[in-house]
Structure 1
Amino acid sequence: MSTLNRRYDIDWLRVIAIGLLLIYHVAIGFQPWGIMIGFITNGTSWMSLWTPMTMLNIWRIPFLFFVSGMGVYFSMQHRNWKALLQERSLRILVPYVFGMICIFPVSVLILQHYYQWDLSYAVNAGHLWFLGNIFAYVVLLSPLFYYLQKNQNGKFVTGLKKILSNPLGLIPVVGLFIAEVLVVKPIPYELYAMTWHGFVLGFLAFFVGFCFVLCGDSFWNMLVKWRWLFVALASGLFLVRLLVLGLKTPGYLLVVESDGWIFSVLAFGHKYLNHPGKTLSYLSQAAYPVYILHMIFLSLASWLIFPLALPVQLKFVMVLVFTFSGCFGAFEIIRRVSLLRPLFGLKMKERSLAVKGNKPGWAQA
């Protein structure tokens, strides 16, 4: 993709979303129920840490699906349907299969060893379920995406651009996600991994993300103009959920809050982050391998640090630093070894290890 057409804000937001994912997963280790979903947990919980995580949890995964759909739009600009599927197979399907066999099972073995359970190996996608969904969406939606791309002057795309140039045009978008909740009835809403809720929600977000970029400047200018309205809406609903409704918050309100946060982040990202830089170039390459590897280093950090007699807050910082350091240290090795690169979603060859310009990442290529 040419630099002129690149959306650096989308690259930045993808990187930030992966960072938040790591922080979120570290926080699970300090909740008493973490072991129930396969995390090593600290003997002393840090319950107040979960308040900001509660806000984050209802939009972090849907947001990644939005951004991934946007990335496909850019990838299509210089690839036909066959080339797109070939490229996405190499960048998504190969790391997905490799991760199921060699990455997530390792974190499970560390968990078993920590709790002195019988060691057993099993192929499991674990946190990499997201990649399986993304690949399925590419296969299912690519024909429609190419049709829309080739008919940008048609009635549907023209009408879509007109509708989404107005904030009221987002009401039907939110309505799609409300319909998903009413039909699928997820319990809880935040359970995305390997569920029909996660698949259908991701499908809708992936499609809508593509449409957002397809609509061009009129949509993004509208989003930036009304950004504070989205912040106020999402913040207000979060306070109501936190202080009044709690676990009894109906699904449709969670949807509105989730979409409010997503629209806010997209708007502020577009206004302030749409610029290149060496830091972005590096982090954009690192994000995918870091995402794939982080559960191994998180499990190792928990295994080593949780038995120590230290304040819970200090343990959190230590686990976070260990996890990030391990992931980026491994990335430095992976990006230098040609045979390892495709297993972690990186291109087999690059002209130089010194990053020049912002190279395509996982969601945008």
Structure 2
Amino acid sequence: MARHYGLDWLRIGAFALLIFYHIGMVFVPWGFHAQTAQPIDWVAIPMMAINPWRLALLFVVSGYASRALLLKGGGLGGFVRSRSARLLVPLLFGVIVVVPLQPWIELTTQHGYAGSFWTFLRHDYFGFAKISGILLPATQHLWFVLYLWLYTMLLALAAALLGGRSLQRAFDAVFGGLRLWLLPMLWLVLVSAWLFPGARETHALWGDWVAHASYLPAFLFGFGFAGSRTGFAATERLWRWAAAVALLSYALVVAIEYAWPVNVPTPFPYGHLFAAARGMQGWSAIVALIGFADRYWNRNHKWRATLTEAVFPFYIIHQTVIVGVEGALLPYGLHPATEFAVLVVATVAGCCAFYLAGREVRWLRPLIGLRANGPVHPPVRATLATEEA
């Protein structure tokens, strides 16, 4: 596989957007672990610009990275061991150390929990039971890491069953040309509008079929796309058209959301139309972003390697910082603009401190998602094809 800097930048940008998206979750009336005293309906409109594709894109890029890592050597067994260590160790660390503050803030600010954080840790968090509907201990935002590990193991199992035979030709035949855009888009429309209409992701692993139906195919697509010359050629031809369709679909989503905002029942057939438009917007945006990254971002920069390494530690810590800071701000009744500014500054500072401190300590590196034996400062030429991320 040739190195592709554009996919590095796309991954960095997708995770950065995800962090700002979770800050936005504080202000929308959708329900979050910590929310401003007076949620603002209109904030949902810009949030919906990235909502349909933000996570699917991350799974596509993760599938792409998995292909590069599998080809690095060490065989299938080495791939399984490496990915399990790189994903399960920070997942376990996150559940035990990073996450607990989030459910405690949610319970104290939204469900009347009266115990201190220390009491919560000693008596409740590791109780393997539900409190006010919250199952403890919790994965919270780290569900993504758990799902990614599961999909990686399913991929390894499929590779073992194939016995070294490649399905690349089949991928290129199925997703050649216009089909690369249309087939996944139709599948997402089918999932959101007809198979699971109105369903919400639970992130509980078992029974979260709407998420698995969306993200497992996206992950497998990324794996196949990584070795597809015809796939990259198709995105080069289609990305501008896909961008236009994504914008038109988003306009329809906004119109329906404006007519029937949060907590207002959407009459038939507009609910199905809303779900279908989201599916079209989601995959069209992914095709457009990959094509744009391939066309304009496939070049190196002195900051790219460090940002590539920082992405996973940032992801591990960011939501705990957001929820913790918002929990501390709530009693002061700040103006939403001030609240937002404080959250942005605190989240960026907290993520940077977590990464910069953790990368300097060798025994901490695996806990925050970095290679234990890797350099503290990544090599200039490192990319998705050489970085275990």
User: Does TM, normalized by the shorter one, top 0.5?
Assistant: yes
| CA distance, structure 1, for counterparts of residue 308 and residue 217 of structure 2 | 25
Question: For residues 197 and 232 of structure 1, do their structure 2 counterparts lie closer, same or farther at Cα, with a shift above 3 Å needed?
Answer: same
**1:20 paired residue number:** 17
**1:57 paired residue number:** 51
Q: Which moved more, 1:64-73 or 1:7-16?
A: 7-16
Question: For residues 271 and 258 of structure 1, do their structure 2 counterparts lie closer, same or farther at Cα, with a shift above 3 Å needed?
Answer: same
Give a deviation string over 1:296-322, Cα, whole Å, max 9, x none. 211222133344354312221221111
Matches within 5 A, 1:2-151: 5-34=2-31, 37=32, 39-79=33-73, 80-114=75-109, 117-119=113-115, 120=120, 121=125, 122-145=136-159, 150-151=164-165
> Do the aligned residues in 2 keep the contact of 1:285 with 1:359 (CA within 8 Å)?
no
- Tell me the SS of whatever aligns to 1:343: helix
Question: For residues 169 and 13 of structure 1, do their structure 2 counterparts lie closer, same or farther at Cα, with a shift above 3 Å needed?
Answer: closer
Supply the AA of the counterpart residue of 1:27: G
**2:263 paired residue number:** none
Q: Which moved more, 1:326-335 or 1:269-278?
A: 269-278
Give a deviation string over 1:165-220, Cα, whole Å, max 9, x none. 4124432333333444467415245x36232211222111111111111212x221
> Do the aligned residues in 1 keep the contact of 2:306 with 2:377 (CA within 8 Å)?
no
Q: Which moved more, 1:340-349 or 1:251-260?
A: 251-260
2:221 to 195, 199, 208: 208
Q: Which moved more, 1:45-54 or 1:14-23?
A: 45-54
Q: Which moved more, 1:219-228 or 1:202-211?
A: 219-228
- Tell me the SS of whatever aligns to 1:214: coil
| Superposition deviation, residue 282 in structure 1 | 1.1
**1:344 paired residue number:** 368
| CA distance, structure 2, for counterparts of residue 84 and residue 266 of structure 1 | 26
> Do the aligned residues in 1 keep the contact of 2:11 with 2:58 (CA within 8 Å)?
yes
- Tell me the SS of whatever aligns to 1:274: coil
**1:303 paired residue number:** 327
Question: For residues 289 and 169 of structure 1, do their structure 2 counterparts lie closer, same or farther at Cα, with a shift above 3 Å needed?
Answer: closer
| CA distance, structure 1, for counterparts of residue 28 and residue 253 of structure 2 | 20
TM-score, normalisation: structure 2 = 0.83
Q: Does residue 198 of structure 2 align to residue 198 of structure 1? A: no
> Do the aligned residues in 2 keep the contact of 1:345 with 1:362 (CA within 8 Å)?
no
Q: What RMSD in Å do the two structures reach over aligned CA positions?
A: 2.6
Matches within 5 A, 1:150-229: 150-152=164-166, 156-181=167-192, 184-188=195-199, 191=201, 193-194=203-204, 195-216=208-229, 218-229=230-241
Question: For residues 280 and 208 of structure 1, do their structure 2 counterparts lie closer, same or farther at Cα, with a shift above 3 Å needed?
Answer: same
Question: For residues 64 and 234 of structure 1, do their structure 2 counterparts lie closer, same or farther at Cα, with a shift above 3 Å needed?
Answer: same
> Do the aligned residues in 1 keep the contact of 2:185 with 2:284 (CA within 8 Å)?
no
- Tell me the SS of whatever aligns to 1:282: helix
TM superposition outliers: structure 1 runs of 4+ over 6 Å:
146-149
Supply the AA of the counterpart residue of 1:343: L
| CA distance, structure 1, for counterparts of residue 307 and residue 363 of structure 2 | 21
Any gaps of 5 or more consecutive residues in structure 2?
Answer: 126-135, 261-265
Supply the AA of the counterpart residue of 1:185: F
- Tell me the SS of whatever aligns to 1:5: coil
> Do the aligned residues in 2 keep the contact of 1:81 with 1:143 (CA within 8 Å)?
no
Supply the AA of the counterpart residue of 1:260: S
Q: Does residue 290 of structure 2 align to residue 266 of structure 1? A: yes
Question: For residues 267 and 146 of structure 1, do their structure 2 counterparts lie closer, same or farther at Cα, with a shift above 3 Å needed?
Answer: farther
> Do the aligned residues in 2 keep the contact of 1:151 with 1:157 (CA within 8 Å)?
no
| CA distance, structure 1, for counterparts of residue 341 and residue 160 of structure 2 | 46
| CA distance, structure 1, for counterparts of residue 144 and residue 175 of structure 2 | 28
- Tell me the SS of whatever aligns to 2:72: coil
| CA distance, structure 2, for counterparts of residue 169 and residue 349 of structure 1 | 38
| CA distance, structure 1, for counterparts of residue 317 and residue 213 of structure 2 | 26
Supply the AA of the counterpart residue of 2:56: P
**1:237 paired residue number:** 249
Identity of aligned residues (%): 23
Supply the AA of the counterpart residue of 2:309: Q
| Greater percentage in helix | 1
> Do the aligned residues in 1 keep the contact of 2:185 with 2:280 (CA within 8 Å)?
yes
| CA distance, structure 2, for counterparts of residue 362 and residue 107 of structure 1 | 34
**2:378 paired residue number:** 355
| CA distance, structure 2, for counterparts of residue 316 and residue 93 of structure 1 | 32
Q: Which moved more, 1:162-171 or 1:327-336?
A: 162-171
Q: Which moved more, 1:114-123 or 1:76-85?
A: 114-123
Supply the AA of the counterpart residue of 1:299: V
Give a deviation string over 1:331-358, Cα, whole Å, max 9, x none. 111001111111111111234x343225
Question: For residues 145 and 261 of structure 1, do their structure 2 counterparts lie closer, same or farther at Cα, with a shift above 3 Å needed?
Answer: farther
> Do the aligned residues in 2 keep the contact of 1:233 with 1:257 (CA within 8 Å)?
yes
